[in-house]
Structures are given as C-alpha cells and as structure tokens.
Structure 1
Amino acid sequence: MKNATNARLAYVTADTYVFKYDTSSTLVGASQATLTAQVQGVTISKWQYKNSSGNWTDYPTTSDNTSITGGTLVVKPTHAVFVDNVAQIKLVTSDSDVFDTVTITKIYDGAKGDKGATGSAGSGGISIVLGNETQSIACTSAGKTSAASTISIPFTGYVGITQTACTCAVGTLPTGITLKTNTAATATAAGLIELSVAASSNLGADATLTGNINLAFTISGKTATKVFTWTKSKAGSNGTSAVVFSVYAPNGTIVQNQSGKLMLATSAYSGTTAITSATYQWAKYVNGTWTNISGTTGSTLEVSGADIINIQSYRCTMTYSSKNYVDVITVEDKSDPYVSEMLSIGGFTVKNNLGGLVPYIIVRTNQQEVDALLGIISETAPSSPKSGDFWYKIDHSAKSITLMKYSGSAWANATEKQSLTYTWYAQDKDGKEVTFTKTGKVIYLSAADIDSLLTLQCDVSN
C-alpha cells in the first residue's frame, strides 16, 4: 500500500462501472455512477468524454454536475455521453501527461423484441468490464522506469447481465513489460492480468510517453477486444538527485513444491545514475518479526525453495551516503493446495493523505473459491435486497468495514462470521513491523494508516 507524496499522479475510482437492464430494457441495479478523483502534484482541470467521432470533449453540464472542474462527477444512463452503450470518461489535469480514464458500460439481459411483436428472451450482449483501463508508470526525467512494479488489470465478463466465465489473450507488450500472471474469470470471480514492469526500462524509447496494449477476451465462443493504456509519469529535472531503491526477482517470485532456488536482486539510482557503491543487509520476516540473515551483505540474495513455506517476505536495507533505503519483496511456494490473493477496493495507492482503501482476501483450492465473501463490498447498500442478504458496509467517516445483514425490512449488524481466520501483519516504510490490530477477511485502511508505504501480509488458517 502506497501513500504517494512525490509523484505526479491522477487516479479515478467509481462505485460502479456497469448499468444493467433487464429483458424489458428497464434499468435494474445502480442508477448512477459516482466518479471520484485523487491527484498528486497536479490540479484537476476538467472531466471529458469520448464522443462518436472518437474525440475527447467536455462533459456536458447537467443538474447532476453543475461544474465539471471538481473532484467528483456523476454519470447517469440518461447523460448524452454513451456511444454504442459505452461511456469513456477522462480526468484532465494541469499536466497533459497526467490523466486517468474509466469506462462505464450499459449491458442488457436478452434481445429486444421486433417492432410490433414481442421478442423472445435472447442470449444478451457480451460485455467486458476492466477494473483498470489505464495506468501511469513512474519514470525518471530521462524517460526510464524508476523501479520495478506490477500492473494489475482485473476483468469480468457478462452475457446480458449474467456474469460469465471468460479468458484473455494479451497482445504485444512493449520492451520492459512482461506478462506475469493471466487468471481466467469465472461466473463468480473476476479474472486478473498482471504485467511486470522492469526497472530502468524506456518501454521502447526514451521519448515515448504512452502506449496501448490490446486485450482479446473470449466469452461464450465470441471474442471482444479492449485496450489498456499505459502512460509515463516523468520526474522533473529538478528531482534527478532523488534516490530510488527497489527489490525485485529477475526470474520470478514462485517456486514449486519448495524446490529450486530464487534470486532476489536490487535496483538503485541516484537521479538517473545507477548506484554501484553501497552496503546491504537482508532480513527474513517470520511470525511478525524481521531477523537479519547472517552474511547477506551483497546486492543480491539467493533463496532456497526449502526456506519458503507458502509465502515468505524478505527485506533489503541499502546504506548509501550515510542514509538507509529499504524495500520488501514476497515470494511464494505453490505446493500448498490453498492459494490466497489480496485484492483492494480503491486499488493500492492513496494520494495526498486522502480517502482510504479496502483490502480483502480471496482463497482458492483446485481453482474453486472457499470461504467466499458473504456479500458485496460497497459504500451504499445493495438495491432490492432479499431477506438474508449480506453487505460489507464501507464507512469512510468511521474508517471501518461492517458486515450487515438484511432482515427483510432493514439492515443490521450481522452475527455471522467467515469460516476461516485472517491474521494481518504490517511493516512500515522502513520495513519495520508495526502494531496492527485489524482483523477479518475485509479490512479498512485509511490514508492516516499509511506513512508513505505500508506492506501488508495476511495469514489464513482454519
């Protein structure tokens, strides 16, 4: 989890990305989407949408949006911003290279009847919803990536308004970006594309500032293509003396059945100059405590697969010019039949000490989810709930997550619990363990909990 304080960034979240219509073309579910912008190092200029000619134009002012220059924007199905049932919305900032976009899609359940006759319920249109359509990548003023990083692109497929299994084929990637994982979506769980961004890469050319990656989705025997856009967020020339330090695994972070070895390496720059003279100390995280590994004072560390039980975190402290720089990496052993994955509502970054994030854990075995979420996670209660429905209520004011249950007439605190136990640990920006009392499958992290960087670990047990 990062609390960015130096980068020039823009980030937009939405409480829904889909407007659903039933077979009678009646809107069901969410009736509006509220977009919220967070920026760092830039100011918000305005909101735009892509018109039928493919050009970005100012979002029309309506009674819902008397201004298009603020930090929020309300999108309704009736707004004249949809082209072929898709609205592409862009946040424009004072820096033309710093922006974010989201897509809101109308999806229909079944085919419409012909004029003058009632049509039978059709199979519905195919829709692919991306949880991340564009991302800025921190770069030096010379146009090279500042550190290794991962781009996460969740995706969900629909036939009509029914969530449906789908797969994704990733198109040509620029130099410096490789495919890390490609998990198919199911009828109940989102899929996930993870792209690894190498450190010190120019992503094709120093002067290149943006690029597109085609994502071809196959769902119910049909193919649909979406485009993911990456953009360089370049550091200013007056920031070239800043030190950037990161730990990465050049050959991947996974071993099988505790066999083989992994190499952990470091990347360090002062401005755009690689640091070649520094001292290092590696440590291992066990039972909530960091312990230095004797004799590990080089810029790399070889890890034996036998030392990795499920997951294992390693920390490297670099000392350079009498200052310490710290980064942490986590590696995995895939012999355990249970696999856990940490996701987060709101992503993994807050900006300018504003807002909060909602991390939660998904557990699978044999590609089937266990101890699933009991309900949706959202700020607003589900529409048209049934008796016995659950809802994880996000309360930004109280900075909390509460499991609610619908009685048939009202929502109240639920007494039910998840079947698994979730124990959370945390390390601060310097890699030091901190007191962390949050519990449960879903937790709330406010910006105040994150001092520049917070590393989370969650152990799952029966």
Structure 2
Amino acid sequence: MTIVASGVMTLVDLNDAKQLVAYIGSSQQRQVIYNPNGGSYVPNYASSNNVLTPQLFIAGVNTDIAAQAKSIKWFYQTNSSGAFTEITASDSNYTLGSTAPKTLTIKGNVLASANSITYMCEIVYTDAGTGYDVTTKAEYEIIKVTNGTNGTNGTNGTNGQDAIRAIVWTPDGNITRNANGSVTATVDVYKGSSVVAGTAFKWYIQDPTATTSSGGDADGGAGWRLLNSTTNYGITGYTTKTITVPASAVASVESFKCVVTYNSVKYNDVCTIVDVSDPIVVTIVGTGTFKNGQGSTTLTAKLFQAGAEIDTGGTAYAYKWSIYDSNNVKNSTFNKTGKTITVNASDVNGRGNIVCDLDKP
C-alpha cells in the first residue's frame, strides 16, 4: 500500500511557511483557428479578448487569495523555446492589470507570427505567520491551428473546401478540487474559421483495458471506453455536444474523447480534466501522558482537507499506528490499526512518538 498521509502526536510545527498552489484562469479557449485565406482568427482576441486571471490557494484552504499577493508578474515565451520575457506595461497586444489580482488581457492576435505562446505568472505572497515571502508560478499555453489554403478546381475555377476539424475544450477550466464540483467539456466543429453543427456525438473516457470489441468501438479506438446509459461514471450529456463531468469521475487525471459527425464524416479530439487534491492533515486527538507506568489512553486520528474534516467514519482509509522510542527505534510488538485505538502505558518506554500512517485501503 502507498502511504498518503501521516500524523505524529508529539511533533507540532507552527513556523513553516505555507505551501501555495497557483493556477491561471482564462476567458477564451486555448486553441486559435487561423484561416490564411481571409486572414481571420477564431476566437479573434482583438474583438473577443482573452483575459488571464491568476488564482492562488494555500494548500488545505479553498479560498482564492490572489488579491492578497505582494506582487504578480507576467512573462511570455514563444514557440516553447528560449527565455521568458517579462510583460512590464500595457501595449497594443496586452493590457496589464494595475491592481491585484493582476490580470493579463490578450487583446491582439499575438499568434500572427508564432505557433504557440506560453504565459507564465509569477506570484509572491507574504506569509503572515512567518513574515517570509513565498514565490510560486503557473503557466498557460495558447496554440494556433492553421487551416490549409484553398486550392482551385480545373473544371469550374472555384475554391476548394475549407479544412474541417473538431476541438474539444473545457469552457470553465479543467480543474476540480478535492473530488468536489464538476466540469463541462464541449466540442466545436470548425469548417475553415466558421463553427458548424455536428449531427451525432459520442464521448469516451480513457481506459487502457477497453478494446474496440469490449467497452469501446471502432470510432473511439482501443483504449477508449464508450460512455452510455450503463457505463457513464455519473457523466451526463454523452450523446450531445457538451458533457458534464462530476469530480467523482476524475481519479487525479482523466482524458475524454469526442467523436462528432459532420456531413457524414467523423472527427475527434481529446481534452484532459484534473482533480487537484489539497493535502490531508492528520491530527491525533487524545491524552498523551501516563503516570507511574500505569493506565491507558484512547487516541483518535482526525483527518482534515481544505479546512474540513473528512472520513469521520474511518472507512475511506486504512489507519496504521506505530510507536517510536526516544532513540527513534520502532516498537516491533505494537501493531494496531483503525481510526481509534487504545494505547497502554506498557507500550511506551518512558517517552516516545506515536505515528498514524494513512493508507488507501
């Protein structure tokens, strides 16, 4: 088994700087469709700005504290290579927010001469408990997808058909937290730079055990399990353009594929949804002292995540207890399990530490 958390009764650290987790939210999708025939972009950031918003969380707390940051800086990198360049002021392509949380608005078609741009947000937060500055970073990449140029027909001189492609994306972001909430994923079909309507939709969840004859089908291919009325993990909308994925369907990271039919031809794309779990804090509750080597004490391991107590019934995890003496030598005869245990004075040689390790059952 893999230990996912541990608690020690006699060790309390009140001075460590807080662990920070940063994300970047966006108001537009990451892919930009460029049509070289008319020189158009979809979405057109010049008319539909993409606003990037920094988000900052203290591990174990689900409140966004980006507005409390000491400083927020934005950088960009072109085509995933070379050094990052800091954006220090607003210009024709960007509007740099002046107050926290310091947003970055992309208001120009910055992919005109690049295939991708990666934006990095560097956040400095002053830990009120220690007075130390803690720095964390997050990245966000936008990608250009270019349509082929129109050809000319020999028979009638008209331009050929525009390229058709499907793009699966998550309009409200691809993050759930601590197995709570839900995320929507939707598929857009583009003919050139125009969005067209698909006529049939199939959604799949990635599963290495699925085959085209068992769990999947030829459209999804091996490794993709078809979502339907009997296999859906709580996901809804799997025969429509948009699905709603509950956090319970996401085990850390899950990928989803949509096969959409347009004009009797099938197209597909994939998106990934991530569940971000705050660390579990194990607190041991009970009396930790004995007198004259007599008596016993009852100890209970309480679990907290994102400020709330979890697993109050003690069934979601396996609780394993150990005792170490003052020389950090483990008591080999002490081997107890469960959320609540009884410790006898005879189990402790003078003084020592009792440890509760948390495993997945």
In terms of fraction of residues, the more strand-rich structure is 1
**Larger C-alpha radius of gyration, 1 or 2?**
2
Q: TM-score, normalised by structure 1?
A: 0.28
Q: TM-score, normalised by structure 2?
A: 0.35
Higher relative contact order (CA 8 A, sep 6+): 2
